[in-house]
């Protein structure tokens, strides 16, 4: 099932009315402006999250905004134009927690496809060299370095995006220093609602 941007009524180029039409031999209809004939394409957005850790603790924000207000999540947000995923993760972390991370220190942790939400959720990880000084940004009620027993399962935001054992698996990886790269999907028209494959990281080739 494909979802279209239901809010598109007028052309963003000329303000004319749009209608769903097949363009050339495209497989699915696009919003096409009835005045200037511009075709408007809607594509998934990329969310980037940062898993910053030190010892057995993770940098977590208690969200000030919906969705998940009052619940804990790692810093995350939509990519801006012109950014790399590493720059986006470092920027979101600085904005939400006051913690500075160098983009080059961020390594791929997971890629989660969310076909029903038209989003791709990329998580990068970085080990902090010391316990960081924290300054909660406007999107966070509180920011803390959190250990596994400090919060309950139902205090994590976006629990539906997590497999049952995700938080404990996360802490196990952090404690051991041995990480996997997780290739995940939630939802979409597949037999299984959740799919994940994990690949152990040995060492960077370069």
Segment interacting with Zn ion (CB under 5 A) among 36-44, 49-57, 70-78, 192-200: 36-44
The residue within the footprint of Zn ion, chosen from 5, 14, 142, 197 (CB under 5 A), is: 14
Is position 33 an interface residue for Zn ion (rule: CB under 5 A)? yes
**Strands (DSSP E) along the chain, which ranges?**
18-21, 30-33, 39-40, 45-54, 57-63, 72-73, 76-78, 107-114, 119-127, 140-146, 180-186, 194-200
Q: Prior bond to 67 cis, omega within 30?
A: yes
| Nearest to Zn ion of 8, 38 (CB atom) | 38
How many chain residues touch Zn ion (CB under 5 A)?
8
Is position 13 an interface residue for Zn ion (rule: CB under 5 A)? yes
The residue within the footprint of Zn ion, chosen from 36, 65, 168, 172 (CB under 5 A), is: 36
β-partners of residue 127 are: 53
| Nearest to Zn ion of 41, 154 (CB atom) | 41
Is position 19 an interface residue for Zn ion (rule: CB under 5 A)? no
| Nearest to Zn ion of 38, 64 (CB atom) | 38
Is position 18 an interface residue for Zn ion (rule: CB under 5 A)? no
Measured between alpha carbons, how far is 33 from 13 in angstroms, rounded to an integer?
9
Q: Least CB distance from residue 41 to Zn ion, whole Å? A: 14
| Nearest to Zn ion of 12, 164 (CB atom) | 12
By CB under 5 A, name the binding residues for Zn ion: 11, 13-14, 16, 33, 35-36, 38
């Amino acid at each position: 099932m494909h979802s279209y941007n239901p809010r598109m009524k007028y052309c963003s180029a000329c303000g004319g009315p749009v209608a769903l039409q097949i363009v050339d031999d495209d497989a699915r209809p696009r919003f096409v402006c009835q005045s200037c004939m511009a075709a408007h394409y809607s594509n998934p957005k990329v969310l980037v999250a940062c898993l910053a850790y030190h010892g057995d603790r993770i940098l977590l924000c208690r969200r000030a905004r919906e969705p998940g207000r009052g619940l804990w999540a790692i810093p995350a947000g939509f990519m801006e134009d012109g950014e790399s995923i590493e720059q986006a993760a470092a920027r979101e972390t600085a904005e939400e927690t006051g913690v500075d991370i160098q983009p080059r220190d961020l390594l791929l942790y997971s890629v989660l496809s969310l076909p029903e939400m038209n989003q791709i959720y990329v998580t990068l990880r970085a080990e902090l060299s010391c316990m960081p000084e924290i300054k909660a940004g406007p999107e966070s009620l509180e920011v803390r370095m959190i250990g596994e027993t400090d919060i309950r399962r139902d205090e994590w935001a976006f629990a539906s995006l997590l497999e049952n054992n995700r938080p404990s698996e996360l802490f196990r990886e952090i404690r051991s220093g041995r990480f996997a790269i997780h290739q995940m999907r939630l939802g979409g028209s597949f037999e299984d609602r959740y799919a994940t494959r994990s690949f152990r990281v040995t060492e960077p080739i370069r």
